[in-house]
Chain A
Amino acid sequence: MTFSKHLVSKLRNLPLISQTLTRSLSTAAAATATAPPPPPPLDDPDSISMKGVRISGRPLYLDMQSTSPVDPRVLDAMLPFFVSQYGNPHSRTHLFGWESESAVETSRSQVARLINASPKEIIFTSGATESNNISVKGLMHFLRSSKRHVITTQTEHKCVLDSCRHLQQEGFEVTYLPVEKDGLIDLGKLRDAIRPDTGLVSVMMVNNEIGVIQPVEEIGKICKESNIVFHTDAAQALGKVPIDVQSMNIGLMSLSGHKIYGPKGVGALYIRRRPRVRVEAQMNGGGQERGIRSGTVPTPLVVGFGAACDVAMKEMEYDDQRIRGLQERLLKGIQDRVDAVEINGSAERRYPGNLNLSFRFVEGESLLMGLKEVAVSSGSACTSASLEPSYVLRALGVDEEMAHTSIRFGIGRFTTEEEIDRAVELTVKQVLKLREMSPLYEMYQQGIDIKSIEWAQH
């Protein structure tokens, strides 16, 4: 058990570091390690203190994959439906119901236009998670007498994987396709996995953790040839990359409102009509939304979702160009000053607004603790509650230490150059500070191959 393993595993235990290190610590670390923090001034107007962290203002937001701010144009479209036009769209007998229904139908066509579908093929749900549940479980339950097999990937969103696990418990068979080192699936492996009783292939369009774009057109073509329904989770892709359900041969698609600057709590399911895809409803009730999803359609949220899709259609090109430039700036800024940085996922086939980096020889938790002024995430929001490294990174073959130090930067419509520069500065500063304290990094700089060391047993 050596000194360095001691350091890496107990980095949080600051007094231990100050005892074991013989070099002098940087002044900031020394101050926090030895002296207790001074009591906060009673009337500090510019200081927020939460969970033991004190920062002088709201952090800059670079976590667009977990959620996005609501665009003012979207909020403007939603407010009248909270204030005066509050009717239930299913009330057929009065003006409140009629105007609410009309607004819902307008939104439906706005969503449909963004993906080149017919409005009749859009069902509003509570979000992409619900749409994924309806797609996976609803479709397979409908086909339970003829189809017993589902193909999906190891990097899907937790809701798809969990729904597949649920199906496995019911007796269905599921193939989890592995991904290559760049995060993309191998089309040959997909073809080999197809059986006569395969009912569904589910591959997400843009991954939420690493941002890679799967070859959706090719997958759609393979599914069409074998007459299998193709489901794709397009929550991260909608409004960011062009989607065409006709050319991509998509049978079912999950959409989410709060990833495209719309409100939280609303999403949609695209369900093809020609050839007709049928699913069993997961929410039973009054038969709303063509019987597929009962429950009152939340008019203000749906109006917001429609407005967000409308704005996205107009702004897609402008946003894409800008975000591409910002990603290059971020990547170049970090790579110019820090070495041993790796991009997780394909560098070419990726959505530019998602940059997932791993910093070698840096401990992940302490890196995040030092980045409190930047709102970023490590692993996806769904898995960050547990301590195990992200399953997506594990599926890519990233080793555990690198998976722990991964940071996901999410760039969006409202991100500015100054925010990127500040994020670069803060990240580089923290990484360099941690690397200075890392004896493993020192060995790496001397040219020693860490993996070839034989650690002595004490």
Chain B
Amino acid sequence: MMTVAPARAEILQLYRSFLRVARKFPDYNIREYAKRRTIDGFHHNKSLSDSSSIAQAFSDAKAEFQIAERQALVYSLYAPKFRSIMDIPNR
């Protein structure tokens, strides 16, 4: 069974959606982690050439993206009243 690797455009679309969702987290640490981990994760897999491993990496990323979407919503529902001191400018 030969898994078809996703097209480059599809991968980039997932990457951009992932970063968009990452920005939605109200918690400073989780937000920064999600952004950083997405960038590092996609960069790390950039050099993959074998189509089944690309497909595997893509489906893993897609599953993580769905987790991030759900959790961004949950974290927004329970965002604390006061933001982290790192989110407050010029202090």
Which partner residue on chain A sits nearest B40 by CB separation? A318
Q: Which of A47, A59, A69, A76 has the most CB of B within 10 A?
A: A76
Contacts of A73 in B (CB 8 A): 64, 67, 71
The chain B residue sitting closest to A48, CB to CB, is B82
Query: Once the chains are docked, how many angstroms separate the CA of A373 from the CA of B83?
Result: 12
If A48-B82, A75-B74 touch, does A57 touch B88 (CB 8 Å cutoff)? yes
- Stretch binding the partner chain, chosen from A187-195, A202-210, A415-423: A415-423
Given A72-B68, A76-B67, A414-B32, decide whether A60 and B91 contact each other with a Cβ distance below 8 A.
no
Name the distance in Å between B53's Cβ and chain A's nearest Cβ: 15
Interface code B13-25, partner A: CB below 8 Å = 1, 0 otherwise?
0000000000001
Assuming A48-B82, A57-B82, is B71 touching A72 (CB within 8 A)? Answer: yes
Total interface residues on A, using CB and 8 Å?
25
Q: Does A335 sit at the interface, judged by CB under 8 A?
A: no
Q: Looking across the interface, which residue of chain A has its beta carbon closest to that of B86?
A: A60
B59 interface residue (CB < 8 Å to A) = no
In this complex, the interface size class of chain B, counting residues with CB under 8 Å from chain A, is 20 to 34
In the complex, B84 has a CB within 8 A of chain A: yes
B83 and A72 within 8 A (CB): no
- CB < 8 Å: which of B30, B40, B68, B80 contacts A414? B30
Please give the distance in Å from B41's CB to the nearest CB on chain A. Answer: 9
A61 to B80, CA, bound (A): 15
Contacting residue for B85 out of A55, A75, A414, A416, CB 8 A: A55
Q: How far is the CB of A317 from chain B (nearest CB, A)?
A: 11
Pairwise interchain contact B30-A72, C-beta atoms closer than 8 A: yes
Scoring A47, A416, A418 by chain B CB atoms within 10 A of each residue's CB, the highest score goes to A416
Question: B residues near A, CB below 8 A?
Answer: 25, 29-30, 32-34, 36-37, 40, 64, 67-68, 70-71, 74-75, 80, 82-88, 91
